[in-house]
Structure 1
Amino acid sequence: MVILDTFYDSSTFTYFVLPFLIFLSRILDVTIGTIRIVMVSKGQKLWAPFLGFFEVFIWLVAISKIFQDLDNWACYFAYAGGFATGNYIGLIIEEKLAVGIVKIQIITRKEAASLISNLKGSGYGITHHNARGGSESVSIIYSIIKRTEIQKVERIVKETNPNAFYSIEDVKSVSRGVYHPKPVRRRMRKGK
């Protein structure tokens, strides 16, 4: 026990180990907080409070260690660095989780029939109409998709019409409709 007390009072612990632990705890609590905010915006009523509990618990532990040693500037830098790093890691994790659904809006000057056909053929529900963009006629295509499907839809758009403009927006909820690809089944004729 005497060895631990000596270690806790050493400059190695005060200026290296403690700031490193604060840095790691800030990364963890801010990452959890970033994911919690996404869950709140997506209406995930069970995940948000669960994550919030751990976020605040970890934050309290980190901030209490800083208040115990207010003259230690290394802890301040570790706290700020952990906050910045936690935001970055939280956004990367959120991107990988791809929770929820989005609306993709595609605007194309080129004839949209082949793009519409390719999207429908891949199982995506779409709505489209013709419009006027400046002095040109354009086609506007809308689809509600799972966030995990964004890259697949982008690939279809780029392969079919690389010059198409598209935007993607978060959607909190939908009442009904086709917003995920369904397996395309080919009907077989009898006797073949």
Structure 2
Amino acid sequence: MEYIAGYLFIFFSRCLDVSMATIRTILVVKGKKFTAASIGFLEIIIYVFAINKVLTGMDNIGNVISYALGFATGNYLGVVIEEKMALGTLIVQVVTNRDIEKFSKYLRENGFGITVMEGHGKEGKIHILQSVLHRKDLHSFEKYVNKYDDSAFITISDARTIRGGYFKNRIINKK
């Protein structure tokens, strides 16, 4: 029973610290220095206890396997947690040849700030709708775009810093 408790300790410790490392890394990229440092502090404490347990029992293959399984599971869980948290801001561009006035009005009526630009593509004149969104609003935005123009070309990129504009105060309709 003592061996199983040790394996579980190693596995769950590793799951936790690797999940935290994933979130910390994303926070570093997003410029959230203090939060990332705080998570890193806790992460390394957990890591030290887990690695100590493994290294003091290197003759027990179960410790090593528990460590490896915890690491792999922690990576998976970290990504799942980050997707649920939906941290960050996105810049979304929608290229369409539909009626731009109606399309932009439709998106604005559904709570999205839209900037319209004109461009020229292979087949002539096109319009580009640009919006800045919280990541958690992306699915909703895509749903509205696909409902209006399921052949629209959409590009999405991360935005590190946002200041001012309609984005700051808007509220998404939950339809």
Q: Answer yes or no: same fold by TM over 0.5.
A: yes
Which structure 2 residues correspond to residues 120-131 of structure 1 after superposition, within 5 A? 120-131=108-119
Q: Give the Å deviation of 1:27.
A: 0.5
Cα 1:63–1:37, aligned 2, differ >3 Å: closer, same or farther? same
Cα 1:129–1:115, aligned 2, differ >3 Å: closer, same or farther? same
CA distance in 1, matches of 2:66, 2:125: 56
Q: Give the Å deviation of 1:165.
A: 1.6
- Return the match for 2:66 from 66, 75, 78: 78
CA distance in 2, matches of 1:166, 1:84: 33
Structure 2 counterpart of 1:171:
159
Counterpart residue type for residue 44 of structure 1:
K
CA distance in 2, matches of 1:72, 1:35: 31
Unaligned runs of 5+ in 1: 1-11, 185-192
Structure 2 counterpart of 1:50:
38
**Which stretch has the larger CA shift, 47-56 or 34-43?**
34-43
TM-score normalised according to structure 1 size: 0.82
Q: Give the Å deviation of 1:167.
A: 2.0
Structure 1 counterpart of 2:2:
13
Structure 2 counterpart of 1:190:
none
**Displaced runs of 4+ in structure 1, greater than 4 A?**
none
Structure 2 counterpart of 1:106:
94
Q: Secondary structure at the match of 1:34?
A: helix
Structure 2 counterpart of 1:95:
83
Fraction of identical pairs, as percent: 34
Deviations 1:64-98 (A, max 9, x none): 01110111111111111111111111111111111
CA distance in 2, matches of 1:134, 1:73: 61
The number of aligned residues is 172
Deviations 1:90-123 (A, max 9, x none): 1111111112211111112333332211112223
CA distance in 2, matches of 1:107, 1:75: 53
1:148 aligns with 2:140: no
CA distance in 1, matches of 2:129, 2:19: 35
Which structure 2 residues correspond to residues 25-36 of structure 1 after superposition, within 5 A? 25-36=13-24
Q: Secondary structure at the match of 2:12?
A: helix
Is this contact kept in 2: 1:144–1:178, CA < 8 A? Answer: no
TM-score normalised according to structure 2 size: 0.89
Structure 2 counterpart of 1:6:
none
Cα 1:87–1:78, aligned 2, differ >3 Å: closer, same or farther? same
Unaligned runs of 5+ in 2: none
Q: Secondary structure at the match of 1:60?
A: helix
